[in-house]
Amino acid sequence: MTDTSSAEFSLTPLDPAPPTAGPLLLVIADGVGIAPEGPANAVTEASTPTLDALTESRLATALAAHGQAVGLPSDDDMGNSEVGHNALGAGRIFAQGAKLVNIALETGAMFESAGWNRVLDEARDHCLHLLGLHSDGNVHSHTDHLYQMLENAAADGVMKARVHILLDGRDVDARSALNYIAQTEQVLTKLNDHHPGLDYQIASGGGRMTITMDRYGADWDMVERGYACHALGIGRGFASATEAVETMYGETDKGDQYLPAFVIVDPSGEPVGAMADGDAVVMFNFRGDRAIEISQAFEDPGFAVFDRGTHPKVTYTGMLEYDGDAKVPTRYLVEPPAIDRTISEYLCAEGVTSFAISETQKFGHVTFFWNGNRSGYLNEALETYVEIPSDNVEFNTTPAMKVREITDRTIELLRSGQYQFGRLNFPSGDMVGHTGDLDATIEAMVVIDECMAELIAVIEELDGTLVYTADHGNADIMYTETDGVRSPKTSHTLSPVPFAIHAPQKGRTLELAPVDNPGLANVAATLLNLLGYQAPNDWEPSLITG
């Protein structure tokens, strides 16, 4: 638990304090952005009378949820759930993932770090393995980072390297893997030609939703398949990554993210990139949630979730520290953002009781990321965290996901009278949106609307306040169209997100504040105001007055 007893976390009550007889509930509709109406917009195509009334009310506005508003390098960068929840919970904007890595590369700090030099020391005598999401989506990784590491390793005497690629099709076009493979093959060929004796190749791969990149313990079988593929060279063999993807495209109409594992083999059928004792492995994802489990599989000496077989003894290093509390991984290349003084720390210091709830797919977002990348409770005596297990299915087959169950449990928590503040995440706008299935995503939005009506009714019953927002866009643009041909859009969007307050208490007068360029980081100060406290002076300003 975090010590919040110091004066650092003291808050000043508002004078006069707003009436807060009932609980304050924050609803985060993951992936529900604001985009122009049209047939590609699952948000506006769905029948959502409750959300329509809420977002058209006088206490509604739009918030920036991408790019510099959430600490990413430029406004061309899509927001994501990790940085979105960091901003929501921190009340300030911190340099994030890609921006941190970009700075470390631009300054040369990454290649001067002890972590990278340890990688080089091991790899010069053995083999360097680079594993990560293979695209320029800039949500979990970027191929530019991969290429710079390959170039630096070649210049510093690493003669053998293998690249293990996780096909994206989610933060980029659904079937774009061949483009990225061609780019990487070109980089590898150039390095091999320029440095005599160099042996750099792609060694293995598979879709990000099939192998390796599970999160929150939802499907460890994914991690086992990925570990077997990357570390042990177990999988369907192909002469090249291009051949693998082209063959699987001919066998299924699924996007890259769902393609099965493959291994590159030599003419005798032996894997070209099975790992061996002494090798160095770098996970080049910078986002943590889908990198933690594979990191544990590689480096945890007591790992027992699945049988790792021969388990080569490698030096494993992450791009970042993916879990600061659990210290996963133990070695990393770039220091993570130091997110301090989150809203939860202040609320615990003031003795405010709270709960956080979602299903497995987004549980860590309303806990770990909301709390500034901290695992576990800040104060278990004041907080309750509820995780509802997710189903291990393709989410367009169950578009409601666990939204109804989250709603039912939230209502129980609200009616218990034990909590002054609660936060929940409805995951389906994002997780179903990522499948590219428009009809399923429309259905997901209808269920969210129905559940929002239930929550609003309970908030009115309890004389409470409800705040509605999202962490980034996704469901708002489900496909693009060129020359009459539709292409599913499975990635996040650059759209703003809704923000609305439902405050039915009699005698309470709230107004939207004139905030320039409001974004997700403004939400925390707003929540403190609604709970009767002034926000810290260095936070992004509140969205309300009165």
Which residue's structure tokens are 């409001």?
A: 518
Token digits of residue 125: 């005598």
Write the secondary structure of 174-238 as one string of H (helix), E (strand) and C (coil).
Answer: CCCHHHHHHHHHHHHHHHHHHCCCCEEEEEEEEECCCCCCCCCCCCHHHHHHHHHHHHHCCCEEE
CA distances from 50 to 54, 415, 457 (A): 6, 21, 11
**Residues 359, 387 contacting (CB under 8 angstroms):** yes
165, 135 in Cβ contact below 8 A? no
For 389, residues 6+ apart whose C-beta sits below 8 A from its C-beta are: 359, 360, 402
Residues paired with 24 in a beta bridge: 421, 465
189-192: Cβ within 8 A, 24+ apart: 191/150, 191/151, 191/154
Q: Check: CB of residue 281 under 8 Å from CB of residue 314.
A: yes
> Whose structure tokens read 């405010």?
352
CA distance 90 to 487: 36
The contacts of residue 309 (CB under 8 Å, 6+ apart) are 228, 232
- Could you please report the per-residue DSSP string of 412-443? HHHHTT--SEEEEEE-HHHHTGGGT-HHHHHH
Phi-psi region of 532 (alpha: psi -120 to 50; beta: other; left: phi over 0): left
Residue 392's CB is within 10 A of a number of other CB atoms, namely: 12
Whether 81 is catalytic is yes
Q: Which of 16, 23, 50, 152 is nearest to 447 (CA)?
A: 50
Q: Torsions phi, psi of 401, nearest 5?
A: 45, -130
**Backbone phi, psi, residue 511, to 5°:** -135, 150
What tokens appear for 510 in the block? Answer: 């709230």
- The active-site residue, picked from 10, 47, 74, 81, is 81
* Pairing between β-strand 465-469 and β-strand 421-426 as defined by DSSP bridges: unpaired
Give the number of other Cβ atoms within 10 Å of residue 169's Cβ.
26
Backbone angles phi, psi at 55, to 5 degrees: -80, -10
Strand-strand pairing, 262-264 and 199-207: antiparallel
What's the Rg (C-alpha) of the chain?
A: 24
The residues annotated with a catalytic role in the active site are 81
